[in-house]
């Protein structure tokens, strides 16, 4: 490298440092949009609205929640990927964000190249429950029943392809049993189907199942976390029911465009992590069966890749496709 090239390199590096410093001082310079790619009332919408107020105070700018449902989160994600890469537009997402590229032949963006992790926000275990008439009070009994009645037992899920379906497929694979999925358009119809005796069992978010378990209309069999849920302390984990190390969680996080300056990403990540530790935020999440689960941007990027690898084999085996 000659002297002229060296000077040019030093000048470019200095310019980049100056830009990063300017971003650190200026971000955020306007309203921050939290794009929730689900309708109002769901878990992602709840997280967005719970975080908006403390983030507004911390960032010194209004944080606005914008619901853009549709396409199994694709519509909201596409909005974010077309927004300026300045950190002012953030996508709040669920595991379906990482499932989409595995089940769709065409995507309007590259999930891993066009987005970068900000932080994981929260996670929650799922619970497997059955109709009270089903003669199974534990995972062991359920597995024994499924082996005695191969191809007869069905499990209801909130959608044809999502975290619940894939979690139950992991259970089915670990136990070596034949279970049939019956997808519904949402958690409420799925729960209603099981309570009505139309399907054998349900796998769903704890917040959706706990009231029915408490009323006796469903019987809780197992939760999918490594530790028992505070919301269902009497329901054992799959891990303690004979399948050591089993864990399948629903999780939620925040991502931004991959070209977003690192200083903005790190500021957002840090402020979300602080907000998640506020007593009022933790109280609301706890009542919904959600646990704060913040990660550094780098750790969250690695986590998303691991999740995609974990589910890819199941999706290929089942030949699941959205179109």
Residue 230 phi, psi dihedral angles, 5° rounding: -60, -25
**What pLDDT, on the 0 to 100 scale, is given for residue 253?**
97
Q: What token pair was written down for 312?
A: 């890819």
User: What's the CA gap between 281 and 57, in Å, rounded?
Assistant: 14
User: What's the CA gap between 52 and 183, in Å, rounded?
Assistant: 33
Continuous segment of H or E residues that includes residue 204: strand 201-205
Does residue 25 carry a pLDDT above 60? no
Please write the tens of the pLDDT for every residue from 269-296. 999 999 999 999 999 999 888 999 999 9
Confidence of residue 206 (pLDDT cuts 50, 70, 90): confident
Residues 7 and 33 in one domain: yes
Does residue 22 carry a pLDDT above 80? no
DSSP H helical segments within 179-321, as ranges?
Answer: 187-195, 206-215, 262-276, 279-287, 297-318
User: What's the CA gap between 144 and 138, in Å, rounded?
Assistant: 10
- Domain end point (choices 180, 213, 241): 241
**What pLDDT, on the 0 to 100 scale, is given for residue 296?**
98
User: What's the CA gap between 159 and 40, in Å, rounded?
Assistant: 18
Residues 230 and 86 in one domain: no
Residues 88 and 150 in one domain: no
Please write the tens of the pLDDT for every residue from 113-141. 999 999 999 998 999 999 999 999 999 99
Residue 316's CB: how many other CB atoms inside 10 A? 10
Query: For the ranges 73-82, 130-139, 190-199, 305-314, which has the lowest average pLDDT?
Result: 305-314
Residues 286 and 222 in one domain: no
Please write the tens of the pLDDT for every residue from 149-199. 998 999 999 877 888 899 999 899 899 999 999 988 777 888 999 999 999
Residues 8 and 114 in one domain: yes
Residue 213 phi, psi dihedral angles, 5° rounding: -70, -40
Does residue 18 carry a pLDDT above 60? no
Residues 79 and 101 in one domain: yes
Residues 136 and 215 in one domain: yes
Residues 264 and 154 in one domain: no
Does residue 17 carry a pLDDT above 50? no
Domain count within the chain: 2
Q: What percent of the chain has pLDDT over 90?
A: 69
Residue 223 lies in domain = 125-241
- Domain end point (choices 241, 275, 293): 241
Residues 263 and 200 in one domain: no
Residues 176 and 116 in one domain: no
Do 256 and 115 contact (CB within 8 A), yes or no? Answer: yes
Residues 95 and 154 in one domain: no
Domain-located, residue 175? yes
Coil, strand, or helix at residue 223?
A: strand
HSE-CB at 235 with a 13 A cutoff on CA atoms is 26
Domain-located, residue 64? yes
Does residue 210 carry a pLDDT above 80? yes
User: By C-alpha distance, which of 189, 210, 193 is closest to 201?
Assistant: 193
Query: Higher-confidence residue: 245 or 72?
Result: 245
**What pLDDT, on the 0 to 100 scale, is given for residue 14?**
46
- Domain end point (choices 241, 265, 280): 241
Does residue 11 carry a pLDDT above 70? no
Confidence of residue 310 (pLDDT cuts 50, 70, 90): confident
Parallel/antiparallel/unpaired status of strands 180-183 and 115-130: unpaired
Does residue 29 carry a pLDDT above 70? yes
Domain-located, residue 159? yes
Residues 164 and 60 in one domain: no
Does residue 223 carry a pLDDT above 70? yes
Domain-located, residue 36? yes
User: By C-alpha distance, which of 97, 38, 98 is closest to 66?
Assistant: 38
């Amino acid at each position: 490298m000659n002297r002229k090239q060296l000077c040019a390199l030093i000048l470019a590096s200095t310019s980049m440092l100056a830009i990063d410093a300017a971003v650190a001082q200026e971000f955020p310079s306007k309203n921050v949009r939290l794009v929730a790619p689900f309708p109002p009332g769901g878990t992602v919408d709840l997280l967005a609205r719970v975080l908006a107020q403390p983030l507004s105070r911390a960032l010194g700018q209004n944080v606005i929640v914008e619901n853009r449902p549709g396409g199994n989160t694709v519509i909201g994600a596409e909005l974010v990927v077309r927004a300026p890469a300045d950190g002012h537009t953030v996508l709040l997402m669920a595991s379906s964000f990482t499932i989409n590229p595995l089940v769709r032949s065409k995507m309007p963006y590259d999930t891993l190249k066009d987005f970068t992790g900000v932080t994981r926000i929260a996670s929650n275990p799922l619970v497997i429950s059955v109709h009270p008439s089903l003669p199974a009070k534990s995972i062991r009994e359920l597995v024994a029943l499924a082996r005695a009645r191969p191809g007869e037992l069905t499990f209801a899920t909130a959608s044809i392809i999502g975290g619940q379906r894939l979690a139950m497929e992991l259970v089915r694979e670990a136990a070596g049993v034949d279970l049939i999925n019956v997808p519904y358009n949402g958690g409420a119809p799925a729960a209603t189907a099981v309570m009505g005796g139309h399907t054998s069992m349900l796998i769903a978010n704890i917040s959706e199942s706990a009231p029915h378990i408490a009323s006796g209309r469903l019987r809780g069999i197992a939760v999918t976390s490594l530790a028992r849920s505070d919301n269902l302390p009497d329901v054992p984990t799959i891990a303690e029911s004979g399948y050591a190390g089993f864990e399948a969680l629903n999780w939620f996080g925040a991502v931004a465009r991959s070209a977003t300056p690192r200083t903005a990403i790190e500021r957002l990540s840090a402020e979300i992590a602080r907000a998640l530790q506020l007593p009022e935020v933790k109280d609301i999440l706890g009542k919904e069966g959600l646990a704060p689960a913040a990660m550094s941007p780098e750790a969250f990027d690695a986590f998303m890749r691991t999740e995609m690898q974990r589910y890819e084999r199941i999706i290929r085996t089942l030949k699941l496709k959205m179109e």
